[in-house]
Chains A and B, each alone.
Chain A
Amino acid sequence: AQSVAQPEDQVNVAEGNPLTVKCTYSVSGNPYLFWYVQYPNRGLQFLLKYITGDNLVKGSYGFEAEFNKSQTSFHLKKPSALVSDSALYFCAVRGASGSARQLTFGSGTQLTVLP
């Protein structure tokens, strides 16, 4: 069975500082990895994905993520945090075939950027 771990329930960072939100995964075969962001009482908004190719993926709003196959990680990063980045972030993984094609989500990390 596939799984996603987001080891930090809460991450606090000062505005202007770099931020990292951690994600590790387990899946059979090649992983398809996604990051989503959720604002209060809203749906999930897509940030970025890794399917194949370069290990460093760039996405929306200045976010990027680094795929590390040996460490089975896909950490979300941003060089300079904004107060408006404060939200709930979800990492998700899916496999390539069969029931593994269903998305499996992590438990989420609440990011707070302090002014």
Chain B
Amino acid sequence: DGGITQSPKYLFRKEGQNVTLSCEQNLNHDAMYWYRQDPGQGLRLIYYSQIVNDFQKGDIAEGYSVSREKKESFPLTVTSAQKNPTAFYLCASLRDITSNQPQHFGDGTRLSIL
């Protein structure tokens, strides 16, 4: 079955620590996205990637970093510079950035502060 796998499902971060959230897709999609979801605020775009070895900042990129070394993988690192990292993080993919099709979503990673 094609889809998006996010891991881990739950993650805890200590003060001053960087943590990395995994996102893998086997849909052969070019475009991938990271969103942050906070209660009552909908989804906000952190970073997106149109193609391998390329990525762009979204609306709330500060304190986050990404890489896109392989088509199927788009990991997100939450750095110690992100002072309020507690949120639900969702990864999504799309055939390509011009597609009119809906984005496919993973089941998310919930990040909390210890």
- Give the interface of A toward B (CB within 8 A): 4, 9, 32, 34, 36, 41-46, 49, 51, 90, 101-103, 105-108
> With A43-B90, A43-B108, A44-B90 in contact, is A101–B40 under 8 Å at CB?
no
> With A34-B102, A46-B102, A49-B102 in contact, is A105–B42 under 8 Å at CB?
yes
Chain A CB within 8 A of B105 CB: yes
Q: Are A108 and B42 in contact (CB under 8 A)?
A: yes
* Residue ID in chain A nearest B31 by CB atoms: A101
A58 CA to B55 CA, complexed, in Å: 34
> With A9-B40, A105-B42, A106-B42 in contact, is A44–B105 under 8 Å at CB?
yes
> With A9-B40, A51-B100, A107-B42 in contact, is A43–B58 under 8 Å at CB?
no
- How far, in Å, is A105 (CB) from chain B's closest CB? 4
- Tally the A-B contacts, defined by beta carbons under 8 Å: 52
A90 CA to B102 CA, complexed, in Å: 13
Complex interface: chain B residues within 8 A of A105 (CB): 42-44
> With A43-B90, A107-B41, A108-B40 in contact, is A101–B108 under 8 Å at CB?
no
A30 CA to B24 CA, complexed, in Å: 32
